[in-house]
Each structure stands twice: as C-alpha cells, then as structure tokens.
Amino acid sequence: MASFSGHEILNDEKTVDLYTSATESGTGDSKGVLIDDSTQGNYSERTQSCMTSGASAYWALHYSAPRSSYEARSVDNATQPLPANIPMVIRFEDQTIRPWDLEPRSIEEAIGKAAAGDVLSIKTTASGLLLANVSCSETAVRMQRVKTLLGAAVQVTVSNWYHRNEAMIRGVPFYVTNEQILDALVPYGVMGARRAVSYTRLDNGVCLESPKNTVMLNFTPELAELPATVSLEGEEYRVQTFRRPPMQCMNCFGFEHSAFRCRAETRCKLCAGFHNHRECTATAYRCVNCDGCHAATYTLCPAKGCFKEKQSAPHDAIASF
C-alpha cells in the first residue's frame, strides 16, 4: 500500500476490504483514500484528472470532523472508550447513479442530515457503494430508516463484515421483511437485521439468490449479554450465537489467509491436485486439508471445524469478509 499527498492508495478491491476491516476495528487511520486500478499508474496525474473531471471511478470520499474538534474530543475523552465505529453501507437502487459523479459536499451534507448524529467518516468503495462509519447504534438504526438520498432511492444496511455481537434466529417466515424485523427487535438491542440467502451458480454462469428462513442480527456493541429469546410477529425465537466460518484461501484452499496474500502453489478444491479446479478432470473428490472424500470448500470439513472452534465468540470478534 503506497501513500501519496497524505492519502492512502488502495491497489485493488481486496485491499479495500482489508482497509475497511482495519478501520472498523480501530486499527486503521482516518486518512482519505485513493483507489488505483494500475499499480504502475501515475498517481499525481491520475489524481489531478479525478479532481478536474469528477468522473473517475476511483475517487474514494472521506469526511471527518474538523481537526480542532477531533483534538478537543481526544483531550476531553482520553479515558473514554473508542466510539463504536459501526460501518453502514449505502446502495443506490438505480445502479446508473455512481457516488463519484455526485457533488462530494452534497453527499456529506445529505448523509449528515440523514444520520442526525456523529458520522465518523464517509468513503466510497470500488464497486460504487457509500460506506459511512457512525459512532453509535442509535444513529445506525436511524440511518436504516432512510429511503432516499439526494432525491434517489437508497438501501442502508449495517455492513455484512461487521460481526461484533452477531447472532441469528431461525424459522422466520419469508413474508416478514428486514425492516419489520428491525423495528420489532430494537427494544432487545438489535441495530441491524438481514435475512440470510443462499447462492446457486448455474451451468450458464447465472447466479441465483434464494432467501432462507434464517435472519442474522447485529446487537448493539454496548450490550454485555445477548438475550436468550426475542419475540417477533407473536412468536418466540431462540437467539443462537453465530460463528463465522474461518477465512479460506481461494488459491491453495488453506485457512486463515486470503488468496491476495497467498504465496503457495495453486491447488484444486475438487481433487487437491496442483491445478485450477476449472481444469480438473478427476472423477472423485479429495480434500486438500483433511484428505477426505469431499471438496475443500465443504461446510462440514473436519479441518474447517477445527479452525472454526479456535475462533472467538462472534459478539467479541470483528473479522474481514
């Protein structure tokens, strides 16, 4: 990761994800971000082009409180815990609307008005989403009730990679929407709710998304203990702790690292051979991790279970996705 004029330059989408995770956990900084699509590009020339044309897909917005205010808070709250730093994802329903084509100051003011609270920072991702970090769960809930931004329809959710105090409930009827679930469970300390989905890729490459009856819940970070049950639509649901599956490399299919940082030789997830799975001609499965008769990505792989057990409880953990 290089630096240029007091900003960080993120060379690809994976690095953006790592940067966002670090910012969420409090280990990142509060500098602006420039996303570069070419590791050999001229940052100075490309930055000037972004500033003059306003049409580059690689501007990443960043706004924070004035330095004087930040320093004052640092002095006054030196002994206080850090803000919750909850990442909120803002998606424009009209995919032709791109954040980098809009006036940055207008975006800042619109999000500030919608949040009606302390917005720690605002950035864009390479895929054209707005990412606003807010300081408390009340602001997070308030933002999710926002349906328009700058006159355009938006969807606002807690980021999928925010895993602090995460749990789930099962058997929720499909007719109950995420908004209805959130409104009903706010008294329990819930600040985010989203229905789980499964994905099926067809032979023609089309990926189908199917909703499940499981709902993921984000409880407020201030909550010391999760409730045993919650009531929704007149039914009681048991709150189950949720452990994220361990990070798995899509290059060697080992655990606890990503393909971006992998230096191992490519392995096949189907037969464990030293080739890409798209080139595999084997007729039998063989796991590269446990030597079992299944693919390396099998959910119930014993090796994956061992790594999963080593992870901390979900309400204490923040992980990258």
284 Ramachandran zone, left/alpha/beta (phi>0; psi -120 to 50): beta
Lowest mean pLDDT among 50-59, 140-149, 276-285, 290-299: 50-59
In the chain, the number of structural domains is 2
Show which of 100, 123, 158 is a domain's final residue.
158
What pLDDT, on a 0 to 100 scale, did the predictor assign at position 63? Answer: 39
Give 9 or 242, the one with higher predicted confidence: 242
Long-range contacts of 96-102 (CB under 8 A, 24+ apart): 97/152, 98/57, 98/128, 99/61, 99/124, 99/128, 99/129, 99/130, 100/54, 100/55, 100/56, 100/57, 100/58, 100/59, 100/61, 100/124, 100/128, 101/54, 101/55, 102/150
pLDDT digits (tens, 9 = 90+) for 88-124: 999 999 988 888 888 889 999 999 988 887 889 999 8
- Percent of the chain, pLDDT > 90? 40
* Residue 29 pLDDT exceeds 90: no
* Residue 42 pLDDT exceeds 90: no
- Domain with 174 in it: 166-241
Inside any domain, residue 256: no
83 pLDDT band (50/70/90 cuts)? low
pLDDT digits (tens, 9 = 90+) for 202-237: 777 777 888 999 999 999 988 889 999 999 999 999
Show which of 186, 211, 241 is a domain's final residue.
241
Show which of 89, 124, 158 is a domain's final residue.
158
Here the tokens at position 78 are 């030196």
29 and 127, same domain (yes or no): yes
Inside any domain, residue 234: yes
pTM: 0.58
